[in-house]
Structure 1
Amino acid sequence: MTTLTRRSALKLFAGTAAVGVLAGCGTNSGKNADGSVTLRFSWWGNDVRNKQTQQVIDAFQKAHPNIKIQGEPGVWSGYWDKLATQTAANDAPDVIQMDLAYIAEYGGRGALLDLSKQNQLNLSAFDQNTIKAGQYNGKLYGISTGQNALAVFANVKVFQKAGVPIPDDTKWTWDDYLKTAQALATGAGNYGSSYGITDQSLSIWLRQRGEQLYTQDGKTGFTVDGVASFIAFQKKLLDAKAAPPASVAQEDTGAAVEQTLAATNKTGMSFWWTNQLGALEKATGSDIKLLRVPSQDGKAQDDGLFYKPSMYWSASSRSKHPAEAATFIDYLVNSPDAAKVITTERGFSTSQAIQDAIKPLLTPTDKAALDFLTEIKPELGQPPAVPPTGSSSAANALGRHVTDVLFGRASAQDAAAAFKTDADNMISSAQK
């Protein structure tokens, strides 16, 4: 069987979604012999998340014996290729763990169910900001599992071993970050920092410069110089031997969370979302201190951080069982029993009822993440625009162009110009 790349799969997906070639087929085709229905449910995650999710599935099936859940866990690095291929083949799961980068991509092309039309899903516990976070073009394509924020994860064990003090994150700059990473790099495969070359890291960098990754009207909102400065900083980390060589970084980018350099105590600082704190502390066996992302001017209020929906629960528009899919999503977001299993692993729910249910169960790690989110709240700016249709492959393009610079195949300026061209073309092609 030919393996589709993400780009080719999305092209195929776009074609089938747009013209409805396979509209006569469905994700599932009826009931089981015992009168029950089976929903396929996909998510990405790690061992901790997989175990928790299976516990929730078991509890849901016990409470709803007429709905069976077939779990399809995966890892981030392969999740979106698989989903694009499934969607193109009209074989998407019924319930889908969705991300901010893709919700417009799938929702805007008609692949997701408008959850606001599903009576089985009770949205009364959520504020308007939470609901708006899952809307695109006036339709609700996902309900947020909770909120989180990007942070620098400082491995306390690595800092102590290197004799380096934890920086004051209320006033540190990127130059301070570089110096700290250099001090932590002890050689023999141990590095001061991982690279932060995701689109969300770029978004924060751009916000610090008064630019934005995307505009509200679905365009790119950045300059070539803005992206070039971001890429040039990654090259500085490399040249200072504060971060791993390009070949090691390339492997690290595609590794499962538990196998990353950060999780195996090979880097002192790395960029993760606050809901990943538990998994990283478990993997490292070390305390991890959450730090604000550095700023250009040393002022925390200018660091560009924002609350991001951790992820969403979405449903396929082609599901033969939309009512049952909505029932399951309602359980995931509103059931105290489910919340007591998941707690904060998918972010901090904005539902007061769920917050009250899990409060007695919060671990020191959970409390540390919550304290961080609470502490940064006064400094946060407005959340960025939802990435427009066509932009989901931009993160891959960014990684490719940054990697070219790390390998010495391109300059930061040329790589930035190529990335802007790619991003503009992806968006314009998808919106024709």
Structure 2
Amino acid sequence: MKIRTIGRRKFQLGAVAVAVSLLATGCGASAGSSGDKEVTLRFAWWGNEYLNAQTEKVISAFEAEHPNIKIESEPGEWASYWDKLATKTAANDAPDVIQMDQKYIAEYGGRGALLDLSKQSGVDTSKMDKEQLASGQYDGAQYGLSTGKNAYVIMANTKVFEAANVPVPDDTTWTWDDFIGTAAKLSAAGGGKSYGAAYGSNEADLIIWLRQHGENLYSQDGKVDFDTATTASFWERLKEQRDSKASPPATVATEDSGAGLEESLFGTNRVGMAWWWTNQLGSLETTTGSSIKMLRAPSIDGTSADNGMYFKPTMFWSASSRSKNPEAAATFINYLANSPAAGAILMTDRGVPANSEIVDSITPALKPADTTVVGFLKDVATEITDAPPVPPVGAGSVQNVIKRFTDEVLYDRLSPQAAAENFKKEVEGMLATARK
């Protein structure tokens, strides 16, 4: 794998390495001020139709307050967003303001492609949650402001539970055995038409499992921080879900992974429990037409304080280091993060805002699902003591590697132990290559 190669099967941010080689030549971003002259900022984000409409609304509100700054919209979809951003960055054509994900903060920021917002006087971070603020920092620089916090939880579809006559578990005391046992009962009642639980095989699933065992995916200094025995036990548990019929056959799971929410097993009320982020509650209830109950992650010993959950920024507002109008970009980001007017539009769809004053101002207007999310995050806050280290440079594609090895295990092409050993070796290679 070579950093300078762009391609879906290669390291996605190879293009960023090329872009940074351009930055190193001394052709850095202009430090000029926007002043009162009219400037245009390009703004890229990913989202669905609802989020796109909401974002256009907040853009219009910003332009009304700042008539000298025009925003040019570049909406996209998650599946193609990162390839496009990498290509544009390499071509010195990155958007001025970028919706960023935590797994790429170090990738872009560490390679010199993002603006250090801490050096922009127009950005106020004084009222932001300190942990959320730290989540956008890498190597001493503030490369992104959190749009809001999230937690990774099990969403329980009460319609499926009621049809199966199975009670929703007590999430403050349940164990993994309870989770698998409940899911198996739901599958049995479904008669092959519906299933108890989705597998949960992305980066957040593995992080929670590792944290329950006192480990992390990465260390603070950017290295792998887990034992192969622990990752092997993660895949052993997923295999147990398959063998006990708590979760669907591998072929069904593979087909489901490529479906949109509206066509998915969960979206069509054919699976009782699945892992989602808390900010997705509203769309899940709308799609399923069912009441969805958020559940804490199961734990090994049935103690909720030991379940490994953590708060994650839903996404970030970042700016390109190559922007010709960094002050205007900072002004727009500050508006998105701190303006009550923006908060009233964005609400909690990008997470519960990091600015506590914004949370207070929007709470009376929240939809029932959003009110539930805010309450849930407050309830679990006493059980969450820290956050995982920021993913290091080179870690952007690790989630795809986890999913690939999950398939290898569920299709019996690799044992959990072999998957764990190969996974660790591959991730170590990705990180080492990125450091060169």
Q: TM-score scaled to structure 1, two decimals?
A: 0.93
Which residue number in structure 1 is paired with residue 89 of structure 2?
87
Q: Which whole-Å CA distance do the structure 2 matches of 1:68 and 1:255 have between them?
A: 36
Q: Contact 1:16–1:22 (CA<8 Å) still a contact in 2?
A: no
Structure 1 residues 301 and 248 mapped into 2: Cα distance closer, same or farther (>3 Å)?
A: same
Of the structure 1 ranges 285-294 and 7-16, higher mean CA displacement relative to structure 2 is found in 7-16
User: Is the contact made by 1:4 and 1:85 (CA closer than 8 Å) also made in structure 2?
Assistant: no
Q: What is the one-letter code of the residue matched to 1:349?
A: P
Q: How many residues align?
A: 428
RMSD: 2.4
For residues 151-184 of structure 1, the C-alpha deviation after alignment (integer angstroms, 9 at most, x for no partner) is 1000111111111110011111111111111122
Could you say what secondary structure the match of 2:40 adopts?
Answer: strand
Match 1:200 to one of 196, 199, 204: 204
Q: How does 1:175-254 map to 2 (within 5 A)?
A: 175-185=177-187, 186-254=190-258
| Cα offset, 1:350, TM superposition | 3.0
Q: Cα 1:410–1:22, aligned 2, differ >3 Å: closer, same or farther?
A: farther
The answer to whether the Cα contact below 8 Å between 2:210 and 2:231 also exists between their aligned partners in 1 is yes
Q: Is the 8 A contact 2:12 2:397 kept in 1?
A: no
**Which residue is 1:17 aligned to?**
20
Q: Which residue of structure 2 aligns with residue 4 of structure 1? A: 7
Q: Percent identity?
A: 52
Relative to structure 1, is the Cα distance of residues 7 and 205 closer, same or farther in structure 2, using a 3 angstrom cutoff? Answer: same
* Structure 1 residue 3, shift from structure 2 partner: 8.3
Distance 1:90 1:26, change over 3 A: farther
Matched, 1:69 2:71: yes
Letter of the structure 1 residue corresponding to residue 149 of structure 2 = Q
What residue is the counterpart of 1:308 in the other structure? 312
Decide whether aligned partners of structure 1 residues 182 and 5 sit closer, same or farther in structure 2, where only a CA change above 3 A counts: same
Distance 1:414 1:238, change over 3 A: same
Query: TM-score normalized by structure 2?
Result: 0.92
| Amino acid in structure 1 at the alignment position of 2:256 | D
Give the distance between the partners of 2:360 and 2:216, measured in 1 at CA.
Answer: 36
Residue type at the aligned position of 1:313: W
- Matches for 1:352-431 after TM superposition, within 5 Å: 352-431=356-435
SS in 2 for 1:220: coil
Equivalent AA in structure 1 for residue 49 of structure 2: D
For structure 2, the residue ranges without an aligned partner over 5 or more in a row are none
1:89, 1:308 → 2: CA distance?
31
- Partner deviation per Cα, 1:174-223 (whole Å, 9 max, x = no partner): 11111111122214542211121111110110010111111111111101
Task: State whether residues 158 and 290 of structure 2, in contact with CA within 8 Å, keep that contact through their aligned partners in structure 1.
Answer: yes
Q: 2:48 aligns with which of 46, 49, 56?
A: 46
Supply the distance in 1 between the matched residues of 2:25 and 2:205 (Cα, whole angstroms).
Answer: 38
Greater shift in the superposed pair: 100-109 or 73-82:
73-82
Runs of at least 5 residues in structure 1 that lack an aligned partner in the other structure: none
Deviation of the 1:63 alpha carbon: 2.1
Between the aligned partners of 1:249 and 1:111, the Cα distance in structure 2 is 37
Q: Is the 8 A contact 1:264 1:284 kept in 2?
A: yes
Counterpart selection for 2:290 from 286, 294, 308: 286
Moved more, 40-49 or 280-289: 40-49
In structure 1, C-alpha distance between the alignment counterparts of 2:24 and 2:395, rounded to whole Å:
24
- CA distance, structure 2, for counterparts of residue 144 and residue 178 of structure 1: 34
